[in-house]
Amino acid sequence: MSTESTKIRKDIVKRYMEKTVKSRRLYERAKRIFPGGGTRNVANFYPYAFYTSHGSGFHVYDVDGNEYIDCNNNMCSLLHGHSFPPVLNAISSQLSKGTAHSTPTEVQLDFAQLLVNRVSSLDEIRFCASGSEATMFPLRLARVVSGQNKIIKFDGSYHGSTDYVHTNVCADYKYKNPPNLNPELGFSPGLRDHILITPINDIEYLKELISSNKDDIAAMIIEPVINRVGMSATQEYMKEVRTITQEFGIYLIFDEVITFRHALGGFQEFLDIEPDLTSFGKCIGGGLPIGAFGGKGELMEWFNPTREPHLSHSGSYNGNSISMCAGIAALQHYNQKEIDNITHWGSLLATGLKKIIQDTNFPAHVTQAGSLVYLHIFRGNYANARDYGLNLLSNYPILRYLHLELLNQGIYVYHKSCIEYILSTVMNQPLIHTILEKTREALEIVQPLFMKENNES
Ligand SMILES: Cc1ncc(COP(=O)(O)O)c(C=O)c1O
């Protein structure tokens, strides 16, 4: 690394540390009680995350008094930014009536009805407490109903932290074909033979995989846009997936924990495909903990406790009144008009970023799925998450400095493989221009790192 690169890196870190002195003190304290100084690995970043004091609308504030434009929105769960008045009102009017009750409540019914009305593939639905549970139960259901054990999942997709899907969250970079199992530490060895990994958008590969395991496959779970790398399954591919899964009696599960925001009826409406089962979470809870899953009545009836046999499904916070009220309020204010608005802002942001990249010759490219915009810090062609990872590899260390410089500029974004801008309905067009200006500043500061480091290698 040249001395100039070292100087740029040090300067970025120094400016971040100078403005986040109180956060740093809290982080030092946290390291003694939380492993790694935090309680949510994905929210961790270098050199330490700022401590939030509060959020309001599209802003979030840290304990040192710094203001950031929040382009993270709690990893996609805040559709309307922070402290959205209709959500706050709904929560406060429920609070005096209690927060969670073990017998059913009418508000559960209201919320279930709202979701079933919106998503055409749903006959019946159940609530749970997280997106992880919302993917776990459909997978279990598919295994029970089909009597088979194998599950197909995309290389590079995340479906929460339960055992079956705790693998290939990061794509397998080591082997060319087939994508091998790349389990997270702690993945159950007993499940190794039950998970089949397929690259996104490669129908021939999938057909081969299905035909060589055809009597053993219970389900295929799909995140229609692999959020970690901002890559969408094409409609053509998905239509073929629907046909082939039907042909082989494989249950198709859509994980819409993130993609539900893209259309009133979820990404499935956009693709014009009906999965057998769907998982929901994050944004349907209006910022409160939630999960839900649903699908065809004949499948969901397996959870009916009055029939034998049935699948067990319980959870102390399933359908808790606060999440229900918050979710209803959030979705009642999330209609076609709001979706059109944030999708439009997403397009403005994506177009603006492309222009900046062109003007500055920054080695990057942009992808977009509605109100989610992804800035990838490499150029190049890739067809799947594995190729993506290989392309990113050499630039990856620079990503953290770009992320940190964006924070220095007052923009809070998510960055695991790319910089992800997650928009909310309370944003507006002038704000998108501000985000673009600040991003331009950050890119200009970071750009010499690429030139210096690439020239050296
Ligand atoms: C696509 C997807 N599915 C499932 C989950 C798990 O949701 P939760 O964090 O609520 O358990 C996530 C979380 O990031 C996700 O992105």
pLDDT, tens digit, 9 for 90 and up, residues 228-252: 999 999 999 999 999 999 999 999 9
Instruction: State how far the Cα of 113 lies from the Cα of 125, in Å rounded to an integer.
Output: 9
Say whether both 180 and 58 belong to one domain.
no
Q: Examine the domain organization and report whether 340 and 423 are in the same domain.
A: yes
Q: What is the pLDDT of residues 372-414, one digit of tens each?
A: 999 999 997 899 999 999 999 999 999 999 999 999 999 999 9
Whether residue 176 is predicted with pLDDT greater than 80 in this model: the reply is no
* Pair 108, 38 in one domain: no
Query: What is this structure's pTM?
Result: 0.97
Judge if 304 and 169 occupy the same domain: yes
- Tally of domains within the chain: 2
**Co-location of 94 and 76 in the same domain:** no
pLDDT at 457 over 50: no
* Nearest atom in ligand 1 to 133's CA: 11
The pLDDT value recorded for residue 452 is 59
Cα–Cα distance measured from residue 325 to residue 60, given in angstroms and rounded to the nearest whole number: 23
Q: Is the CB of 373 under 6 A from ligand 1?
A: no
Burial class (CB in 10 A: 0-12, 13-18, 19+), 117: exposed
In angstroms, the Cα distances linking 430 to 66, 237, 433, 435 are 21, 37, 5, 9
CA-derived radius of gyration, the chain: 22
What is the atom index within ligand 1 of the atom nearest the CA of 289?
10
Residue 59 predicted with pLDDT over 90: yes
Decide: 130 in ligand 1 pocket, CB within 6 A: yes
Question: 134 C-alpha to center of ligand 1: Å?
Answer: 9
Model pLDDT for residues 281-321, shown as the tens digit of each residue: 999 999 999 999 999 999 999 999 999 999 999 999 999 99
Q: Does residue 135 have its Cβ closer than 6 Å to ligand 1?
A: yes
Assess whether the C-beta atom of 395 lies below 6 angstroms from ligand 1.
no
Q: Are residues 444 and 319 in the same domain?
A: no
Of 332, 367, 385, the position where a domain reaches its end is 332
Same domain, 233 and 159: yes
160 lines ligand 1 (CB under 6 A): yes
Whole-number Å distance between alpha carbons of 66 and 52: 9
- Ligand 1 in reach of 238 Cβ (< 6 A): no
Cβ atoms within 10 A of the Cβ of 228, count? 22
Residue at a domain's end among 274, 301, 332: 332
- Whether residue 423 contacts residue 262, with contact meaning beta carbons closer than 8 Å, is answered with no
Structural domain containing residue 396: 3-83+336-456
- Whether 223 is in the pocket of ligand 1, judged by its Cβ within 6 Å, is yes
Does residue 311 contact residue 136 with C-beta atoms inside 8 Å? no
Can you tell me which residue has the tokens 């839900």? Answer: 292
Which atom in ligand 1 lies closest to the alpha carbon of residue 281? Answer: 10
pLDDT exceeds 70 at position 456: no
- Which pLDDT does position 2 carry in this prediction? 78
Domain boundary among 285, 305, 332: 332
- Buried (b) or exposed (e) across 403-416, using 16+ Cβ within 10 A? bbbbbbbbbbbbbb
Q: How many separate helices (H) and strands (E) can be counted in the chain? A: 15, 17
CA 160 to ligand 1 center in whole angstroms: 5
